Amino acid sequence: MKTERYDIIIVGGGPAGMTAGIYAARARMKTLLIESISVMGQAMMTEMIENYPGVREVSGFALLETVKTQARSFGLEIRQDTVVTVKKLDGMLWQIGSETARYKTETVIIATGARAKKLQVPGEEKFTGKGVSYCGTCDGAFFKEKQIAVIGGGDTAVEEALFLTKFGKQVTIIHRRDRLRAAKILQERAERHKKIKFIFDSIVEEIKGAGTVDKIVIKNVKTGKKQDLACDGVFIFAGWEANTGFLKNVVELSDKNGIITDEEMKTSARGIFAAGDCRKKSLHQVITACGDGAVAAYAAGQYVDEVKGVLYK
């Protein structure tokens, strides 16, 4: 298997990775971005983004396609593949192993994003794809005039609940706390919407059905009382966990598997940087991911210049 050589390899094709690609390519670094076709990022699944400066409303897919075209115009090379290993070689080089190829590089930018957390309740795995979903934009159309339950109370949960009202007969938001955590403007829209109702202080204990979902068992966390809620679809937005499983023993991770970085996006491993939602961070937004990507690319470019100075002086 031929091993190709790059200055910078970016792993991940979301807002952080693509922004890093723009900055690295503009700096005339030989840069490869590897994006997975098996993992759909959060931005790609977002039906409408309205808080990206300068753009009133745009779908996540449309925004990313625009950024990808922009990155390619500067010479960024993009390949679809799945990275499975990151290995330190002798000297100052890293080896990236994918499902189809091997690469050598002075530096790596990890921008693999995060995936939806599962509830880990009975019936969740059994009915995934049969009424259980983690993406309203992907699957909402299958539930036209159906009863839909949305689990979660953050921005993503409320945004997706609002989107699902385009299809469902009724959308019930179930949240373990006594109030939503979403931005106030989203809360206000949800509270005004005639198709949305709320069940607070409650968790899902089980998902049931005969072939497909037909109800969920809900438990009130304050009283302990349980009830069945009839529904055809369960959309779960219980948070996110970083896509960093292939990096164990490579870089330092937080207790929630987010990559720990400094303000320059440097990780504990010299030559590896991280950007976007795979990092340990407090605000998971497209704009913060883009900022991370820009910083990571700049710092990585400086590191490449340093390495080349050592290797070729």
Catalogue the active-site residues: 135, 138-139
- Distance CA(295)–CA(291), nearest Å, equals 6
For 66, residues 6+ apart whose C-beta sits below 8 A from its C-beta are: none
State CA 29 to chain mean position distance.
26
Q: Are 13 and 112 in contact (CB under 8 A)?
A: no
Dihedral sign for Cα atoms in the order 173, 177, 181, 187: positive
Residue 109 phi, psi (nearest 5): -115, 115
Q: Are 32 and 79 in contact (CB under 8 A)?
A: yes
For 68, residues 6+ apart whose C-beta sits below 8 A from its C-beta are: 13, 18, 78
Closest CA to 164 of 219, 232, 63: 232
- Distance CA(201)–CA(99), nearest Å, equals 44
Burial of 196 (0-12, 13-18, 19+ CB in 10 A): buried
Residue type (1 letter), 55: V
CA end-to-end distance (rounded Å), the chain: 30
- Distance CA(302)–CA(298), nearest Å, equals 6
Closest CA to 126 of 57, 52, 218, 216: 216
